[in-house]
Amino acid sequence: MADEMDAVVFEEHGGLDVLEHTTVDVPEIGPEEMLVDVKACALNRLDIFVREGIPGAHLELPHVSGGDIAGVVEAVGDRVDNVEPGDRVLVDPRITCGECEYCRKGETNRCSDDVHGNLGEEYWGGLAEYVAAPARNAIHMPDGAGFVETAALPIAYATAWRMLVSRAEADPGETALVLGASGGLGTAGVQIADYLGAEVYAATSSEEKAERARERGADHVINYEEEEFDRAIWNATDKRGVDIVFEHVGEATWEGSIRSLTNGGRIVTCGATTGPKATTDIRYLFTREETILGSRGWQRDELETVADLVWRGEFEPAIDRTLPLEEAIEGVEAMEDRDLTGKVVITQ
């Protein structure tokens, strides 16, 4: 194996212009790590945030982003016994200590040790030919599973599963509003809410995106460029509101999300893309007995559940486009321009 590899790298924080397709050293692995030959790596908005610079985060540069990785094990460290070269694996991006009180309970998204983080965020990710990761992060792929579909799952689909199943506890027949329904996470929310038997309202910004949302399971679509989504929900539900709001947009939609809930409804949030400081009208909370639920990423068993559903053909992740590594920057640009109706996956 060569000592160098192709990768998409940035050496300083900034816009698209800091990204460079270049050659870097192949990462070395420790005794409990594996080196994975990356076959597919899906993009996420997290890659943009990491490149631009997350407040309070101190990233060692240069950096390779990309947390959603599927590939083939190339080499393993001396203490590894759960995988071997040639194994096809999905890599859980979340790196944890495995020893704290939360890890021992399987609550890996709450790891309290200083070493915790994510591939592509605190650690080099998969926008490269190879990636180093703890061997315990490997999830074995069945022979018939595709690398592209598998790579699309961790950050968007496992997060959406946790939001709707583990946190909101969505039941069949309930109503759910999914905001930002055309991006990777929003599309996952639509598909999973539909799989769970919910009546799905999807908020998006164009007729083309609306049609894609319908194809992926939305029963009703709201164009938020043409009408206020909370008013549309109020009218469409005969002034009832929805049981669940799938919220990841943040400041720009928060007030409308609160207003969209029915009596006893719950809003589940995993992010704040448009800003973290939103206003909450507390009167809605107590008069309607609304519940606000935070949801942080995913836990290992949730990722395994989603992967198994996809591998069994229960549903198929939505892929907007696949691009080779040398065109990865074009994929990032499309994601920034919101010119997508699903995931961008970089292949090798």
Average per-residue pLDDT in the chain? Answer: 95
Residue 93 lies in a domain: yes
What's the rounded mean pLDDT across residues 220-240? 96
For position 71, what pLDDT does the model report? 98
Confidence band (pLDDT; 50, 70, 90) for 341? confident
Regarding whether 136 and 164 lie in a shared domain, the answer is: no
181, pLDDT greater than 80: yes
For position 340, what pLDDT does the model report? 83
- The enclosing domain of 92 has a CATH number of 3.90.180.10
Confidence band (pLDDT; 50, 70, 90) for 216? very high
The enclosing H or E element of 124 equals none
The enclosing H or E element of 313 equals none
Regarding whether 117 and 166 lie in a shared domain, the answer is: no
231, pLDDT greater than 90: yes
Question: How do residues 22-65 score in pLDDT, each as one tens digit?
Answer: 999 999 999 999 999 999 999 999 999 999 998 878 889 999 99
Residue range of the domain that includes 213: 157-294
What's the rounded mean pLDDT across residues 67-92? 98
Count of domains observed in the chain: 2
For position 55, what pLDDT does the model report? 84
Regarding whether 129 and 14 lie in a shared domain, the answer is: yes
What's the rounded mean pLDDT across residues 312-323? 94
What tokens appear for 246 in the block?
């799938």
For position 114, what pLDDT does the model report? 57
For position 289, what pLDDT does the model report? 98
Regarding whether 289 and 173 lie in a shared domain, the answer is: yes
For position 115, what pLDDT does the model report? 60
Beta-strand (E) ranges in the chain? 4-10, 19-25, 33-42, 68-76, 88-91, 94-95, 117-118, 130-134, 138-140, 175-178, 199-204, 220-223, 242-247, 261-269, 291-294, 319-324, 343-347
Domain boundary among 294, 309, 326: 294
What's the rounded mean pLDDT across residues 199-215? 93
For position 149, what pLDDT does the model report? 97
Cα–Cα distance for residue pair 295/124, rounded to 1 Å:
24
Contact between residue 303 and residue 139 where contact means Cβ atoms under 8 Å apart: yes
Domain boundary among 255, 279, 294: 294
242-247 and 220-223 strand pairing: unpaired
Question: How do residues 243-272 score in pLDDT, each as one tens digit?
Answer: 999 999 999 999 999 999 999 999 999 999
By percentage, how much of the chain surpasses pLDDT 90? Answer: 86
Regarding whether 147 and 168 lie in a shared domain, the answer is: no
Question: How do residues 84-125 score in pLDDT, each as one tens digit?
Answer: 999 999 999 999 988 889 988 989 898 876 567 899 999 999
Distances (CA, A) of 198 to 149, 169, 184, 219: 24, 11, 19, 9
Regarding whether 136 and 21 lie in a shared domain, the answer is: yes
Distances (CA, A) of 286 to 11, 213, 280, 311: 49, 33, 12, 43
Distances (CA, A) of 189 to 149, 178, 270, 331: 16, 6, 12, 22
